[in-house]
Amino acid sequence: MQARVPAGLDHKEGEVYRQLDPERLPKHIAIIMDGNGRWAKRRHLPRVAGHRAGVAAVRSTVETAARIGIHALTLYAFSEENWKKRPKSEVDFLMRLLGRYLKAELPTLNDNNIRLEYIGRQRELPPDVRKRMDWAHDSTAQNTGTILTLALNYSARSELVDAFRSMVEVASKNGGVEHLRIDEDAIREHLYTRHLPDPDLVVRTSGEMRLSNFLLWQLAYAEIYVTPTLWPDFRGVHLLEAIAEYQKRERRYGGLNDSQAAGTGSNYSDRNTSRKEKAHHFQGNISKLAHHGE
């Protein structure tokens, strides 16, 4: 039985959605939005034209995610490295673009019941930008649908540094560092994303095969989907195609599938026997070498 198409999806999106199992949608999708500069270069335009064109991709992707009921969508909008390594003119443009985006898209966010959050070192952003961010956040705080998180001035390594600093600070206020508790749960409680489940799916546009210092802790078991589509050309239908690919995969979290766990099948048995034979052969060779050296 085909899935009922949610309201608001266009024809192409509806065709892809019908192939999906609505019960197995990823709860949290993270996207590395890449390719704005290359998109502009191919059209003999300045880089900022690519950033401007990328806003339409954000709008389409966010609306589609909300319409199909994705719990959380995190977009890698502006990295800490961008802040430090890009020309000042480009950074200034991106800050103005962010402010205009938040003002222009607020009605769309509210119409789609989307709550806006941020991760990253916001304190390092310009005061006027932080003020606009706070305004947009507060204006969507009562929404109960998709949680849209923008990663701004974000670095996964900086996030871990901040988490460890926070853990030490909490311990120092609770009797000293001898009370410091370090385990996975404790670290998770101090991450920027502590209010979110870990991403099930990470999408990277433009064909690049790297994570670029994005959610390194949280993506430990995420499925990775890479598309050659440049970010300004990415739309809701591409998000649905990524989900379709995600649903074809078997997620084992380091464990075994049913047939492997049961040890059934001649291939499994043969591999197991082969490993034992190789181990026995290896141990025999070691014994011979030891005897020869005496």
Terminal Cα distance for the chain, rounded = 73
Q: Cα-flanking dihedrals φ and ψ of residue 211, to 5°?
A: -95, -15
Q: Does the active-site annotation cover 82?
A: yes
Sheet holding 223-226, edge to edge: 115-119, 147-154, 72-79, 28-32, 201-204, 223-226
- b/e code 48-70 from CB counts within 10 Å (16+ = b): bbbbbbbbebbbbbbbbbbbbeb
Residue 282 to residue 284: CA distance in whole angstroms: 5
Q: How far is 97 from 56, CA to CA, in rounded Å?
A: 12
10, 21, 34, 143: which is the annotated catalytic residue?
34
DSSP helix/strand/coil, 115: strand
**DSSP for 82-101, written as a single string:** HHHHS-HHHHHHHHHHHHHH
Cα–Cα distance for residue pair 284/251, rounded to 1 Å = 38
CA distances from 165 to 82, 120, 193, 282 (A): 24, 15, 16, 47
Q: Catalytic annotation on 111?
A: no
Local structure of 289: helix, strand or coil = helix
Distance of CA 214 to the CA centre of its chain: 7
Q: Which one from 82, 110, 162, 233 is the annotated catalytic residue?
A: 82
What are the catalytic residues? 34, 82
